[in-house]
Amino acid sequence: MQDPSPRYVTALEGVGVRRTTTDQVILDDVDWSVRAGEHWALLGANGAGKTTLLRLIGATMHPTTGTVEVLGKRLGRVDVRELRAVLGHVSTSQRVPQDATAHTVVLTGATGTVQPLWKKYDAATRELAHELLAELDCKELADRPFGVCSGGQRARVLIARALMPSPSLLLLDEPFNALDLPSREDLIDALRRLAVDRPELATVTVTHHLEELPPSTTHALLLREGRVQAHGPVREVLTGERMTQCFGRPIEVTHQDGRWLARSGRRA
């Protein structure tokens, strides 16, 4: 039985999720825990259950069976609004006012709102937003409308926004989606620096490509049809054999200079 004590940022035990309208199994008997300072990659084919798993630990849904602990609180026994307020969540599908400046977008992270609540932001809050933009290496974007920022710049601004409440857990849902190569590398470098500068911060990143994993990645979880195929230290999980089992086709995995590469050959 997993220890649900607060040293775990999140802990799941025997978790299942079913779609009530069709009784379809989305997640089945998932056991998983994340500790402070760990950086997890969450991988699996489309429909494997990655987004559902992220929603559970982001306190935006409840399991059908099993228990989910987030920051020492069990879902179903806590006001999830309190949990969401201290979690960082980044998704490229987040609705952000396109005409708002990058600084304003980051400010909204303090209130967890889409539109700014100006009366809630004191001088210290406004300064923190500037500091976070600088931490993500995009302080020059402070006065630029979010809508004219590049994809990579937007991703870093959204991470700065997610860091406003000083979260213990940062959830990144396909943050590299549609980024070109330079933007991808800028974001990877930003995540690597975060791991160094914030040693207690835990992250979970959903991605489809091993090339997008920063060198700071410590652990990985592979999902296949709602079940955990493997989870643990990244070098033990991201092997050709395990990736092949997870995705159902031959995959060759290489690791060099802290970065990963996966290639798929022809099926036999």
Q: What is the pLDDT of residues 133-168, one digit of tens each?
A: 999 999 999 999 999 999 899 999 999 999 999 999
Domain match, 225 and 105 both: no
pLDDT at 87: 93
Task: Confirm whether pTM is higher than 0.85.
Answer: yes
Domain match, 156 and 204 both: no
pLDDT band for 102, please (50, 70, 90 cuts): very high
Which residue, of 166, 193, 214, is where some domain finishes?
A: 166
pLDDT at 240: 95
Whichever domain contains 211, its CATH number is 3.40.50.300
User: Could you give the CA distance from residue 50 to residue 226 in angstroms, rounded to a whole number?
Assistant: 8
Q: Supply the DSSP string of 94-126, one letter for each residue.
A: ----TTSBHHHHHHGGGTT-SS--GGG--HHHH
Instruction: Select the more confidently predicted residue: 264 or 246.
Output: 246
Please give the tally of structural domains in the chain.
2
Which residue, of 133, 166, 199, is where some domain finishes?
A: 166
pLDDT at 267: 58
Domain match, 135 and 187 both: no
Q: Measured in Å, how far apart are the chain's first and last C-alpha atoms?
A: 40
pLDDT at 81: 86
Q: What is the pLDDT of residues 186-198, one digit of tens each?
A: 999 999 999 999 9
- Domain encompassing residue 266: 1-87+167-268
Which residue, of 150, 166, 182, is where some domain finishes?
A: 166
Domain match, 20 and 79 both: yes
User: Could you give the CA distance from residue 58 to residue 44 in angstroms, rounded to a whole number?
Assistant: 19
Lowest mean pLDDT among 71-75, 83-87, 161-165: 83-87
pLDDT at 227: 96
